[in-house]
Structures are given as structure tokens and as C-alpha cells.
Amino acid sequence: MGTYLNKIRIYYLMEKIIQLQNINFSYGENKTIDNVSLDIGKGVYGLLGPNGAGKTTLMKLLLGFLIPSSGSGRVLDFDIATGRKEVRKRIGYMPENDCLMPGMDGVTLTAYLGELSGMPRQEAMKRAHEVLYYVGLEESRYRKVETYSSGMKQRLKLAQALVHDPALLFLDEPSSGMDPKGRREMLELIKDIAGKESMNIIISTHLLPDVEYTCRQVIILNNGQVAAERDVSSVSTDRFNRFNIKIQGETERFLNKLQSLNCTISENDRGLYSILLPKEQSPRNLFKIALESHVQIRHFQQSQTTLEDTFVSAVGVSNDH
Amino acid sequence: MTIREKGYHHWDGQLKDTGIDWLPIFFNGIKTVFKKKYAKVLFGLTVSPFLVFLVGIYVSTKPELKMLTKLVRLLNTDAEFFNVFFTNNFLTFMLVILGLFFGSGLISGDIKFNAFPLYFSRPMNRKDYIFGKLSVIMFYFLLFTLVPGILLYIFKFIFTGKISIDPQVLLGLIFLPLLVTLFLASVILMISSLSGNAKYAQIITFLLYIFSNSIALILVKIFKSDYFYLISIENIIKQMGSFMFNVRAAFYYPPWLSVVTVIVFISCAFLVLYYRIGKAEAQIETGN
């Protein structure tokens, strides 16, 4: 119990779990991380970004698989370049892709990975039973892992990431390959884990609803840079107002004028335009521009901004996530 | 109340810091190999040279068994005796078979099933990973070379009733099996790291063993030079034995050259392993 309290004391008092300063990384000529500076505090963070945004590379840097070409970073107060073993001792990582060790049953694999993290053998085995029970694999824990379904493999990956009770958990597409019921359960588990004071989580995912459901903060990456960093709960009252409008007339002129006001516009298949209007702009401007452009507004409705809107406005694309 | 009902709860233990992070790989590997089908049969076959040599020691120390003296003439000196024990073709062959049986899949299995993210998200670097895997093969190889060698040495004292220690023999007894097992283990692991298919790794290793011997023999016949025996796994081990136990060289080239060549082979194998595992570590898939 004392150790657990120590753990809470150390990481709960820590304001910043991850600190990155001017991190750069290139694969040859291709700069994948471009001068990223980030402070990640306690709680659950979502990492979003379109393909090639640099999420993969950033995760690799945080996990210590890659060394930055310049800049510095600390994870749980350990240097990401020189303290890789110390970082890995304190993190849990749930990879996206299938990964297992054939010939082992679920409980042996989980206990083995606990031992590799530094747990004493007997405690690793005891804890493996506990976490497998927790993730819902109690019935299948003695089955060979290669016979698991993809949903069970996801649960197993979560169990092995939790077995040594890390202070920081990296979850990579945690609900991928799961049926709706399994996905809901996985998100519930994440939410439950996130409720623990000394557990911090970073979720990299393509599924915005997953982030909205589980995360407190979201970091959006684009072209190797941090495009946005938001509090998920404040997204709806954030920098934009969202309006759905239907128009008739000189559409192109109207839309061009809106773009000059830094609006993000997308059109759905029913001819309805979704417009993200910056907060500093009054909705009256829409009507003013419509009048100037000889456009009739046939439908006008304000709707709530979502995380997707934030993503779209930060990344500047609507369908690449 | 079940754990799930009461939610996630923390582990209140403390992580160990033994400084030997690869130890769990070693223990797990040993257990896994021992559980394999046919393991006991192979172990039985591999231990048979030890039993034969044990009988040999007994015969050589009993004057009443003079009619068998011719059979055990090679036991005249300890150096010759242990040289023959460690370098006999049957033992080398069985070590290669054991290596194929449990060593070829050690890394290729991890490649095939993408186990690297699981290893390298733990406090473990590629050196730990390689040492862990190597230790599994080394353990079993030494179990059938170094351990029987030491036992034979002890039994000789018991049967003769007198203790006489020859430093040359003692050093050979320790360092020859170490070098031979490190050589075979590093080559087997290197080949295992080249493919995600354990079967391919087994076939390549076996072909390497067979062809290294036959090609060396052909080249020696063509060029009339024993130096070509340096590329033969069986024969380079024989020449190393001559060097370690300071007995008559098996082939006409300086015995020390065999030791140097083996060290070069081991170094190259480790370089390839280090590169391959480093590549696997850097290519771990994390998101998209």
C-alpha cells in the first residue's frame, strides 16, 4: 500500500506528465516532426491527426523508440533520449496492430510481460489474473492467444498494458476491430481507468467519438506540427459558431467572401452548407455578405460545434481523418 | 465483489530492479523449450556421448578390463580425452539439431507474430533482448557440453581415486564449450532474425551446416590446402579443440587461426543481429 501511495504522491503532484520543447525529427529529407512543443498534464488526452500528420512519429519519440534530431523532452520527468528504460518501466503501451507471442495462454503472456516490466514472478501471475478478469477475459485466460478473436486480442493488449499498473498509458486505436458492444465496453474500461488519480492516458485514434467520450483534452497534429490543443468539454463553446445554411443565387461569390472571413465551409450531398464562423465574427455578417453577393438564404440554423469541427478547422480538410 | 464490479484497482507492489532485464526471457525460454514435443528424446540423444565417455573413463581406470584398452586408447591423456569429447561429430551434429529445434524460432516467431512492441515497450533495449534469447540457447548447449565435461572430470577423480589438476585441460574444458556454444548459438540466432518463418530459418541453418562441411572438403581436395577447413563448422571446432587442449592439430594450418576465425564469425553474427533487432525496434507500428 505504501508503494501505491508513493506512486500517487509522485505522479499526482506532477503537473506536467509530458514536456516537449522544440522537438524535431526527420526521416531522411522528410521532416515528420517540426518544432513541436507540448505540455501534457494529468488526465486523458486524445491525439488526433490525418494520415502523415506525425502522430506515429510523436508516439515513437515518447515511447523512446526514436531519438529526436533536436529539441528535448521529458516523460514522467525522465529524458526521452537518455532515460528510455526508466520511461518504459512506468508506461503501459497498447499497440494498434496485432501482436502476440504464440504458444502462450492469455494469463501466461500477461504475467510474462509483467515480469519483463520488473514485477516479481508470483505477483505478476496474480496480477495477470486480476487484469484479465477486469478486461473481461476471465473465461478465456487459459486459451492460447493465437485462438483469440480480434476483440479479445484488443482486450488482451489492454490487460498487458495495465499489468504493472503504469503511471502513463498509451492506447493506440483501442477500439479498433471491435464490435459495437465490445467497443462500448472498451471505452467504459478506459473511462474507469481514467477515473483513477494516478493514471494518465494518451489515446491515439481516428475515431472522434471515442475521443469525445473518453478524453479531457485533445491534441490535433497536422504536418508534423501541433495544429490545435483543446479542452474537449469546451469545444462547443470554443472559437467557432457553426451554422447550417441553404442558399440560392451566386453561390461561388458568397462562399469566396466567407472564406476571406476565415470561415471553414463544407457542403453535404443535400446542398446544405456547414459553416464554421470564427467567434469574433457576428452571424449578421453572413446575411450582409449574402445581400452583397445577391444570394438568398433559404435555411439558417445554428448548431453545436463538435470535435470534428475543431478537427476540420485545425487541419483544413474534412474527409481525411 | 469481483474486480470488474469494483472497477480498476492499483497494484500495490514494487517493481524489481535486478539490473538483468533479460532474465524473464531466459526463464520463460527454458520452460518453453522443455515443454516442447520430442524435447526429452533429443535431450536423451544429445547426452549419449557423455554416457559413452563415462564408460570409457571407467574402463581406462580398471586394469581387469584390459581387453578393452584398445577401444579407449584415446583416453591416454586427459587433453586428448576431452578434446575428443567436445569435438566429436555426433555431439556437434546434435547441438545443431537442438539449435534447429528450439533456437530457430526464437526471433523469427517474434517477427512473425509482431511481438517486438510488447518487448520494447518494457524496460528493455535490443541488447537485453538479444542476451535473453541467446541465454536460452546457451543454457541448453552448455547443459550438454560444459556440464558433462565437468562431470567427466569429476568422475575421473572418483574412478582413479587421485586428484590431479592440469591447468591446460581445465581451461580447455571451460573455454572450448563456451566458444563452441557461443559460435553455434550466435549463428542460429542470426539466421532466425533474418526471416519471420521459423521453417526457413531451420532449413537455412541445416543447409549451412551440411554445405559448410561438404564445400570445405571439395575445396580442400581441389586446392590441396587445409585452410579451406576454416569454413567447415565441424572441422573448425575440431581445430579449436586442438588449440584449446594443446594436442596435435587436426589439420595443417595454425590452430589459433580457427579461434580467430570463430571470433570473427561470432562478431559478424552479433552485428547482423544488432542491426536486425534495431530495425525491428524502430519500425514498431504506432498508430497511423
- Number of domains present in the structure of chain A: 2
Name the packing angle between helices B89-102 and B167-192 (round to 10°). 40
Q: Domain containing A83 — which CATH number? A: 3.40.50.300
Our CA-based measurement puts residue B10 at a distance from the nearest CA of chain A, in whole angstroms, of 6
Strands A200-204 and A168-172: parallel
pLDDT level of residue A213 (50, 70, 90 thresholds): confident
Mean pLDDT score, B34-50: 90
Domain end, chosen from A214, A232, A250, is at: A232
Question: pLDDT tens digits, residue range B231-274?
Answer: 999 999 999 999 999 998 889 899 999 999 999 999 999 999 99
Our CA-based measurement puts residue B184 at a distance from the nearest CA of chain A, in whole angstroms, of 25
Q: Domain containing A291 — which CATH number? A: 3.30.70.100
How many C-beta atoms surround the C-beta of residue A138 within 10 A?
Answer: 16
Mean pLDDT score, A203-232: 85
A311 part of a folded domain: no
> Percent of chain A at pLDDT above 90?
30
Mean pLDDT score, B2-14: 75
Question: Where do the domains of chain B lie?
Answer: 20-282
Q: What is the ipTM of this complex?
A: 0.87
Residues A198 and A249 in one domain: no
Write down the pLDDT at residue B241: 94
Residues A63 and A119 in one domain: yes
Test B24 with A115 for CB contact under 8 angstroms.
yes
Q: In this predicted model, which residue has the larger pLDDT, A96 or A164?
A: A164
pLDDT level of residue A79 (50, 70, 90 thresholds): very high
Asked if A316 has any chain B CB less than 8 Å from its own CB, the reply is no
Residues A171 and A263 in one domain: no
pLDDT level of residue A270 (50, 70, 90 thresholds): confident
| Surface-to-core class of residue B117, CB atoms within 10 Å of its CB (0-12 exposed, 13-18 middle, 19+ buried) | buried
Q: Are A236 and A304 in contact (CB under 8 A)?
A: yes
Cell of A179: 464490435
A309 part of a folded domain: no
Residues A207 and A294 in one domain: no
Domain coverage including residue A247: 239-304
- H or E element in which residue A69 lies: none
Residues A176 and A254 in one domain: no
Asked if B37 has any chain A CB less than 8 Å from its own CB, the reply is no
Q: What is the CA radius of gyration of chain A?
A: 23
A310 part of a folded domain: no
Asked if B80 has any chain A CB less than 8 Å from its own CB, the reply is no
Write down the pLDDT at residue B5: 62
Q: Residue A124 pLDDT more than 70?
A: yes
Which residue in B has a C-alpha nearest to residue A4's C-alpha? B12
Residues A228 and A249 in one domain: no
Residues A68 and A115 in one domain: yes
Nearest to B83 by CA among B259, B257, B255, B240: B240
Asked if A197 has any chain B CB less than 8 Å from its own CB, the reply is no
A318 part of a folded domain: no
Measured between beta carbons, the chain A residues lying within 8 angstroms of B8 are 134, 162, 189, 192-193, 195-196, 199
Provide the whole-model pTM. 0.82
Residues A194 and A47 in one domain: yes
How many C-beta atoms surround the C-beta of residue B268 within 10 A?
Answer: 13
Question: pLDDT tens digits, residue range A44-68?
Answer: 999 888 777 888 788 888 888 888 9
- Write the single-letter amino acid at B265: F
Task: Give just the sign of the alpha carbon dihedral B273, B275, B276, B278.
Answer: positive
- H or E element in which residue A228 lies: strand A225-231
Rounded Cα distance between B139 and B142, Å, is 5
Q: HSE (CB half, 13 Å, CA atoms) of B208?
A: 18
A101 part of a folded domain: yes
Q: In this predicted model, which residue has the larger pLDDT, A205 or A317?
A: A205
Q: In this predicted model, which residue has the larger pLDDT, B72 or A83?
A: A83
Asked if A112 has any chain B CB less than 8 Å from its own CB, the reply is yes
Rounded Cα distance between B59 and B61, Å, is 5
Rounded Cα distance between B138 and B131, Å, is 10
Which residue in B has a C-alpha nearest to residue A157's C-alpha? B118
A319 part of a folded domain: no
| Surface-to-core class of residue A95, CB atoms within 10 Å of its CB (0-12 exposed, 13-18 middle, 19+ buried) | buried
Question: pLDDT tens digits, residue range B106-157?
Answer: 999 999 998 999 999 999 889 999 999 999 999 999 999 999 999 999 998 8
Residues A114 and A261 in one domain: no
Asked if A25 has any chain B CB less than 8 Å from its own CB, the reply is no
Q: Are A167 and A200 in contact (CB under 8 A)?
A: yes
pLDDT level of residue B1 (50, 70, 90 thresholds): very low
How many C-beta atoms surround the C-beta of residue A303 within 10 A?
Answer: 12
Test B32 with A103 for CB contact under 8 angstroms.
yes
Q: Residue A9 pLDDT more than 50?
A: no
pLDDT level of residue A319 (50, 70, 90 thresholds): very low
Write down the pLDDT at residue A205: 83
